[in-house]
Every structure is written in structure tokens, then in C-alpha cells.
């Protein structure tokens, strides 16, 4: 294991990949608090993803980055999990590694929301397998029905409320509701702007 740290003035330069090694990285703010921790085999590519996805959240706050190289990816992931559990980075999911999947076609997050937020909202279903966002949300809403949080005949929360809960676009929520209607879990009533969704009776 080797380590490199960028210090002094704001310095977030990504190290070049090292064949056969995995990088454990931590982005820190000016106070030395850990904003985000992750594992990657290709730091330049991962840094670019963070710049795009966290442009409105933690990326502008990052001042320094530390990188440790591990010969074993498993060792890097184990260390990442330990850091998340003990240091509670400000922008990681508490107690669980960050999702490692990329967004698929048709999957869209709301502004100011992250994949970590979405994956937490669906109980890790998205990062744990190759399922689409709509399927993950449908599972959660179906569980709400099965566990009695949503009762037969009860109106579902508004599109805006579901958008806030899951951190995805209204379009993704609409596709999820269509899926649930097709499976007989909910019913659609009305048309156009007057459309409402209710738990099937």
C-alpha cells in the first residue's frame, strides 16, 4: 500500500491509474473534514464523474484529496466501509459504501440529489444489482402497500412528494406508476392534470 496526499492550496489533481492497484480516496474540506470517500481503479475518470455529478453539492467544497493504493480491491473496499462507519463522511451514505453503478438509459436524478440519496431511499436495491430505477421504486411502493403504510383505496402521495422522497425526476416516477398499474398494485383515475393514483382495492 502506498499513499499520496495533495496539500497546501486547493489541489485535487487525480493520480494516474496504477495497473493492478485500487485507489482509496478521500476528499476533504478546508477544515479537514471528509466530504466523500470512495474506491476506484481509474482516478482521472472518477474525478471527472464527481465534477459532473457533485458540481452543486460537495465538489466546490473540496480543498484536498488523499489517495492510498491497495494491491487488493477488497482491502480497499473494506477500508472504505470502515471509514464511512467511523468518520461518517458528509456526502456518503451512512454505514454503507457508495453505489458503484452508472446511470442507465432513462434514469435521471433531480438537481441537488445524488445516487447515494436514491440508493438509500430504495434500501440499496439499485447498487446491489442491475435493476432499473423504476423497478427499485416500484418494489419500495409495493412494500408500503404490503406493510400497511398505504391502504387499499388510499391515494398515493403526489408526484412531487415521490420526487422528493426518491430524488429522481417526475418522468421516472410516472414510469414507475405505469409499471405498478400494469401489475395491478395501484389504479389510475382521471386524465391529464387531474390524474390521480390509488392503491388497488
* Degrees, nearest 5: CA angle 92-131-83: 20
Residues 111, 54: Cα–Cα separation, whole Å: 10
Distance from chain centroid for Cα 89: 14
pLDDT band at 197 (very low <50, low <70, confident <90, very high): very high
Residues 116, 126: Cα–Cα separation, whole Å: 10
Distance from chain centroid for Cα 53: 10
Question: Within 10 Å of residue 117's Cβ, how many Cβ atoms?
Answer: 18
Annotation: CATH topology of 99-201: Arc Repressor Mutant, subunit A (1.10.10)
Indicate whether 54 pLDDT > 80. no
> Can you give the pLDDT at residue 5?
42
CATH classification number, 1-93, choose in 3.90.79.10, 3.90.1150.10, 3.40.1440.10, 1.20.120.1200? 3.40.1440.10
> Can you give the pLDDT at residue 74?
87
Strand order in the sheet with 2-6: 2-6, 64-70, 22-28, 34-40
> Can you give the pLDDT at residue 167?
87
Indicate whether 201 pLDDT > 70. yes
Rounded mean pLDDT of 171-194?
90
> Can you give the pLDDT at residue 94?
41
Q: Considering only residues 56 and 163, tell me which one the structure prediction assigns the higher pLDDT.
A: 163
- The rounded percent of the chain whose pLDDT value lies above 90 is 30
- The domain segmentation of the chain, as residue ranges, is 1-93, 99-201
Bridge partner residues of 109 (DSSP):
168
pLDDT band at 188 (very low <50, low <70, confident <90, very high): very high
Question: Within 10 Å of residue 129's Cβ, how many Cβ atoms?
Answer: 10
Euclidean distance between the first and the last CA atom of the chain, given in angstroms as a whole number: 59
> Can you give the pLDDT at residue 157?
93
Q: Considering only residues 92 and 171, tell me which one the structure prediction assigns the higher pLDDT.
A: 171
> Can you give the pLDDT at residue 20?
92
- The dihedral through the CA atoms of 183, 185, 190, 196 has a sign that is negative
Where would I find the beta strands (DSSP E) of the chain?
Answer: 2-6, 22-28, 34-40, 64-70, 186-189, 196-199
Question: pLDDT tens across 60-111, in order?
Answer: 889 999 999 999 988 988 888 788 777 777 776 543 444 555 566 666 776 6
Average per-residue pLDDT for the chain: 81
Question: pLDDT tens across 114-150, in order?
Answer: 777 787 788 777 765 556 888 889 988 988 888 788 8
Amino acid at each position: 500500500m502506498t499513499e499520496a496526499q495533495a496539500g497546501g492550496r486547493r489541489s485535487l489533481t487525480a493520480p494516474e491509474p496504477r495497473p493492478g492497484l485500487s485507489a482509496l480516496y478521500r476528499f476533504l474540506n478546508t477544515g479537514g473534514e471528509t466530504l466523500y470517500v470512495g474506491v476506484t481503479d481509474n482516478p482521472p475518470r472518477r474525478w471527472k464523474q464527481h465534477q459532473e455529478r457533485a458540481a452543486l453539492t460537495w465538489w466546490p467544497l473540496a480543498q484536498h484529496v488523499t489517495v492510498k493504493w491497495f494491491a487488493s480491491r477488497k482491502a480497499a473496499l473494506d477500508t472504505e466501509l470502515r471509514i464511512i462507519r467511523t468518520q461518517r463522511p458528509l456526502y456518503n451514505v451512512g454505514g454503507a459504501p457508495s453505489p458503484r453503478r452508472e446511470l442507465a438509459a432513462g434514469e435521471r436524478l433531480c438537481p441537488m440529489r445524488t445516487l447515494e440519496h436514491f440508493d438509500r431511499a430504495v434500501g440499496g436495491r439499485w447498487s446491489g444489482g442491475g435493476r432499473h430505477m423504476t423497478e427499485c421504486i416500484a418494489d419500495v411502493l409495493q412494500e408500503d402497500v404490503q406493510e400497511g403504510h398505504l391502504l387499499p383505496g388510499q391515494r398515493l402521495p403526489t408526484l412531487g412528494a415521490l420526487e422528493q422522497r426518491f430524488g429522481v425526476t417526475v418522468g421516472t416516477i410516472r414510469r414507475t406508476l405505469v409499471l405498478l398499474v400494469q401489475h395491478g398494485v395501484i389504479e389510475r383515475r382521471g386524465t391529464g392534470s387531474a390524474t390521480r393514483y390509488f392503491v388497488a382495492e
